[in-house]
Structure 1
Amino acid sequence: MRAFYFLCVLFFSTGAFAQTAAASTWQDLAKVTYEKKYDELLGFKVDVPVFGENVRAMEGKTIEISGYIVPVEGYKSHNEFVFSAYPYNMCFFCGGAGPETVMEVTATDPVKYSTSRITLRGKLTLNNDNINRLMYILTDAELVSK
């Protein structure tokens, strides 16, 4: 009986931890500051992200993250799209959230557009030098749950 109880506690606590880790990733990614740097091409200073130690530790690693699809090319299945911590009407582009709340995604298989929260798993890349791209990029992404 004790073994059964222990296995149940282990099973449920592991599941809860996995959900918390995925949900807290956006909180981890929010640990970024900005510094002004002169951009030769633009001819003026721009905000450049300075990633915290925890964020830098995630670079190149496979992460799970939950959020919402922001369609780039209509409401269909996408291999490339923007992923947001917040629903479309509250995201960085529409609702005033910060740039640390969105990421570019390249999926291995097309992900069907949905207004529901989904979870993705993929490799995280940090971007602090190309102002034409988002600061977070998730590659080889796979849909974990709808």
Structure 2
Amino acid sequence: MYRSIKSETWQKLFVITFKTIKDQYGETEKPVFSEEVKKMEGKQITVPGYIFPTEDMFAGSKKILFSALPVNNCFFCGTGGPESVMTINLKKSLVYTERKISLRGTLELNDENPDELIYILNDAVKVD
């Protein structure tokens, strides 16, 4: 499924494994990032993808969900895994579009907070 994604950045982010740990939540799947992805943390990356429509998005929020896959195939609605979506913290809010766009920002990896997505892009801006 991910082979149709032509983004070199997403292809690197897709290489991930998970290990089961026991914590205060019971059993949790914790991401294990590849060495290549660990080297990307804290660096500027550009990712193409699709805005996931949420109520907050339409209220002008600067925090959105973003998917490598179109909404009908994304992690929340279809067949994509957790490595195919990320939280985007925008510098300024965006107007929603169903079209593919590209965003650039600083990558943060999350392997501690199970209530947050595993990839976070901070200070993100839309690029043409």
Deviations 1:38-62 (A, max 9, x none): 112x2x2111000001100100001
- Stretches of structure 2 that go unaligned for 5 or more consecutive residues are 1-5
Q: CA deviation at 1:128?
A: 0.3
* Cα contact 1:35–1:49 (8 A) shared by 2: yes
Distance 1:140 1:75, change over 3 A: closer
Distance 1:87 1:56, change over 3 A: same
Inter-partner Cα distance in structure 1 for 2:118 and 2:88: 12
Inter-partner Cα distance in structure 2 for 1:128 and 1:110: 26
* Cα contact 1:119–1:143 (8 A) shared by 2: yes
Correspondences of 1:58-137 after superposition (within 5 Å): 58-73=40-55, 76=58, 77-137=60-120
**1:49 maps onto 2:31 in alignment:** yes
* Cα contact 1:78–1:112 (8 A) shared by 2: no
Q: CA deviation at 1:78?
A: 3.8
Amino acid at match of 2:52: V
Question: What CA RMSD, in Å, does the superposition of the two structures yield over aligned residues?
Answer: 1.4
Between the two proteins, the alignment pairs up a number of residues equal to 122
Inter-partner Cα distance in structure 2 for 1:38 and 1:113: 39
Structure 1 vs Structure 2: percent identity of aligned residues?
43
Rg comparison, structure with higher value:
1
Q: Which has the higher contact order (CA 8 A, sep 6+)?
A: 2
- Stretches of structure 1 that go unaligned for 5 or more consecutive residues are 1-21
Given the alignment, which residue of 27, 33, 38 partners 2:11? 27
Inter-partner Cα distance in structure 1 for 2:70 and 2:82: 14
TM superposition score normalised by structure 1: 0.79
TM superposition score normalised by structure 2: 0.90
* Cα contact 1:78–1:113 (8 A) shared by 2: no
Question: Once superposed, which parts of structure 1, at least 4 consecutive aligned residues long, lie more than 4 Å away?
Answer: none
